[in-house]
Amino acid sequence: MLSFVSRSIVLLFTLLCINHLPALGQHKAWRQYTIADGLPGNQVYDMLQDSKGYMWFVTDKGICRFNGYEFFQPVDTTSWSGTEAFLPVEDDKGRIWFNRINQSLWFIEHDTVKEWEYNHVLEHYRADFNRIDQLGFADDGSVWLGLSAIGFLVVAPDGHHKIIHESPYPNVIFTRLKNRIVHALQFTTKQRSTLPKYKVAEVISMVGDQVTVVD
């Protein structure tokens, strides 16, 4: 028969094993993917899961789709093929949008990269903003772009466009588009030098194209 000390040691060992079982069951397996697995570039800036369940990754060498087993790169015959991609967003048509280092917009349709037809509108404001903060789509088909230092640039399906900014002071402004929060950092170069502190603003309502902020 086991002595009291021996039985105590066996009991303690059993309890330790039981306590460790949940931890072992919760251990998560992970795998690192690189260009050796088909990823376009090893620097991944952002990712998106689309409405079909596919994962999209924007990298320093372009954009790709992942089905859980392999990576697929859409056909890109433009001069920007293989360059940095950022800010992946899906629209109602299932197209995947992204922007490039020159702050132009592109989308993927039928596994092919296409240039947004209104990139010339962005060129009109090129001297006033330094990056695209975020991107969203309204019910009427308008594209909303959060432009750092300006506010929202709203481009209608017919190309008509306008800037929405609600304060002469630096603000971070927000709005909701199709259950997605889109923001823009609003301040000019001149304001940056005269007003050292940001004032955070929250959009509390939007009627038509009116964005309401609270300083």
Q: Is the pLDDT of residue 86 over 50?
A: yes
User: Both 63 and 94 in a single domain?
Assistant: yes
Q: Which of 9-23, 36-50, 55-69 has the lowest mean pLDDT?
A: 9-23
- Around 21, how many Cα atoms within 13 Å sit in the side-chain half-sphere? 6
User: Of 84, 116, 148, which residue constitutes the final position of a domain?
Assistant: 116
- Domain assignment present for 66: yes
pTM of the shown model: 0.75
Q: Residue 165: how many CB atoms within 10 A of its CB?
A: 18
User: Both 50 and 81 in a single domain?
Assistant: yes
What is the b/e burial string over 153-162, where b = at least 16 CB atoms within 10 angstroms of the residue's CB?
Answer: bbbeeeeebe
Q: Mind giving me the DSSP string for 29-63?
A: P-----GGGT-S-S-EEEEEE-TTS-EEEEETTEE
Q: Residue 141: how many CB atoms within 10 A of its CB?
A: 13
| Predicted pLDDT at 81 | 94
User: Of 83, 116, 149, which residue constitutes the final position of a domain?
Assistant: 116
Which is higher by pLDDT, 6 or 202? 6
User: Both 89 and 56 in a single domain?
Assistant: yes
Percent of the chain clearing pLDDT 70 (strictly above): 72
User: Both 106 and 143 in a single domain?
Assistant: no
User: Both 186 and 145 in a single domain?
Assistant: yes
* Residue range(s) defining the domain that contains residue 179: 117-215
User: Both 87 and 158 in a single domain?
Assistant: no
> pLDDT by residue (tens digit) across 140-182?
999 999 998 888 999 999 999 999 876 667 778 888 888 788 8
92-106 average pLDDT score = 96
